[in-house]
Structure 1
């Protein structure tokens, strides 16, 4: 079970977007990276295709999982632990002890 999943609200801990929050769009577990909406936006030159116009586009680049943390209910970063509740393994916020929905 992964500590950070698609749909989680996360806080950036390091890098040019430090302190900003966003939602995880996609996780790459093998590379230990995630795509977060509005975070780590880079500009890329795009060649024209049948469906897309040519030009410079802005898109999110991946960010390493060590540089993001799940946001607790108060919006502050928290570490994630695991607990068995009603026979199911669930993610728990270390800061508040609450079960993380997901």
Structure 2
């Protein structure tokens, strides 16, 4: 079970964009996530007339390692760790470590 999923609001805790918040757009692979507005780079692209792509410099959101982000807890307004709790019926749910409350699925 992934502790950080698509749609979660996260805050960056390390790196160049430390302190920025954003939603997880997708998981790039098992270790990396793409967060909107975080790790934005300028990329030089070559024009491709067959695809209708103009050339130039475009801004692109690149993946960031999941260890550099933490889930954002709206009740405390801070970053929080994620725990996994097994309910009585056997279902696994994610919970905030600080308060123990269940993480709402976005």
Structure-1-length-normalised TM-score: 0.91
- Contact 1:81 1:91 (C-alpha < 8 Å) held by counterparts: yes
Structure 2 Cα separation of the partners of residues 5 and 82 of structure 1: 13
> Rg larger in 1 or in 2?
2
Instruction: Flag structure 1 segments of 5+ consecutive residues without an equivalent.
Output: none
1:44 aligned counterpart, secondary structure: strand
1:10 maps to 10
1:11 aligned counterpart, secondary structure: strand
2:84 aligned counterpart, secondary structure: strand
Structure-2-length-normalised TM-score: 0.88
Q: CA RMSD in A?
A: 1.2
Give per-residue Cα distances to partners, 1:3-58, cap 9 Å, x unaligned: 0000000010011110110000111343x111000001000011222232111000
2:104 aligned counterpart, secondary structure: coil
Structure 1 Cα separation of the partners of residues 29 and 63 of structure 2: 12
1:101 maps to 104
Are 1:91 and 2:94 counterparts?
yes
Structure 2 Cα separation of the partners of residues 8 and 29 of structure 1: 16
Structure 2 Cα separation of the partners of residues 51 and 91 of structure 1: 44
1:61 maps to 62
Structure 1 Cα separation of the partners of residues 11 and 55 of structure 2: 33
Q: Which runs of 4+ in 1 moved over 4 A?
A: none
How many matched pairs? 101
